[in-house]
Amino acid sequence: MDGREYVPEPKITFVVAVNDRDVFEHNFLASPCLRGPHPHETLVQEQFVSAPKAYNDAIGRSSNDLIIFCHQDVYLPEGWLEDLRRALDYLDIYDPNWGVLGCSGMTVDHDHWRYLYSTGLGVSGGPLEHPKPVQTLDEIVLILRKSSGLRFDEQLPHFHLYGTDICLQASRRGMKSYAISAFCIHNTHQPLVLPPEFYQCCKYIRRTWSDCLPIQTTCVRITTYDIPIYARRLREAYLRYIRRKEFGGTRVKDVRGLVEDCAQTITAPRLHLGRCERS
């Protein structure tokens, strides 16, 4: 024994909104931390009309305080829980009242803190020395504590920008949100053209959080006059009707190929990716 007090790993409730069982099973459920016996709870949310309704239902049913909301096409490599634990240990010292954590976030000044792989984009960002404060977080991975009292706004429709909303709710309560260094793989269809529902959510966020503008999300900046949104929609029209290109990358069937690709691409001193680990 080295004399240090043993602190057990926190039990986690994972929450996933699922509309494609095959994608869910071949990505999220393939994550090493969910293979075989483990102490964690997984709540699969199906048949919900919006992410806020699905996630609030899961918060109410969660058996654990620490809750992680993931997209169904996210893969958490081996070592992901250790990365999370390091971030939590840091925040226990420097900001025990933290609000929301995630793997990709933006500051209002356009700093994008992230460390992940997205299909079509490859590896983005790099390892962070410690959690970075952000204004908003991407929805691919969101982490909060049930005891924080934070809940998603069920008036926000569809499945977009609920990460933005929950971070703004945390800020209103005096809690900071952080991007953490916990590398994940987002095996997704990478859209260059966003659906109409996304822009409906933008309007809702702009109206609801008008006193917080400008709001910088990982997709677009929301402002009083929506100029960045108009500019994005013009680019999308060009891509859709002139270039005939709506996706920048397409989801692969077997996520193990992406794990191998990440191991060969990343030049960080050490990355935990199971058998693909590099030293």
Question: Which residue type occupies 143?
Answer: I
CA distance linking residue 178 with residue 101, whole number of Å:
5
Q: Which residues contact 194 (CB under 8 A, 6 or more apart)?
A: 219, 232, 236
User: What letter represents residue 220's amino acid?
Assistant: V
Q: Are 15 and 139 in contact (CB under 8 A)?
A: no
Pairwise CA distance, residues 219 & 181, whole Å:
20
What is the amino acid identity at position 127? P
**Which segments of 2-156 does DSSP mark as H helices, in order?**
21-26, 51-61, 80-94
Strand partners, 240: none
* Residue 227, pLDDT score: 97
* Cα 181 off chain centre by: 12
- 201 in Cβ contact with 209 (< 8 Å): no
Residue 191: other Cβ atoms inside 10 A: 15
Q: How far apart are CA 161 and CA 219, in angstroms?
A: 9
Residues in the chain, pLDDT under 70: 1-8, 266-279
Q: In the chain, which ranges are continuous DSSP H helix?
A: 21-26, 51-61, 80-94, 162-172, 196-208, 227-237, 256-265
- Three-state secondary structure call for residue 206: helix
Give the per-residue pLDDT at 269. Answer: 41
Q: Identify the pLDDT of residue 3.
A: 52
Q: What is the pTM of this model?
A: 0.91
Local structure of 67: helix, strand or coil: strand
**Which residues touch 216 (CB under 8 Å, ≥6 apart)?**
106, 107, 108, 109, 110, 135, 136, 222
Spatial distance between the Cα atoms of 131 and 192, rounded to a whole number of angstroms: 29
Task: Give the model's pLDDT for residue 277.
Answer: 34
Q: For 12-276, give the CATH class.
A: alpha beta
* CA separation for the pair 15, 21 (Å, rounded): 14
pLDDT at residue 256, as a whole number: 87
Exposed/middle/buried for residue 158 (C-beta within 10 Å: 0-12, 13-18, 19+): middle
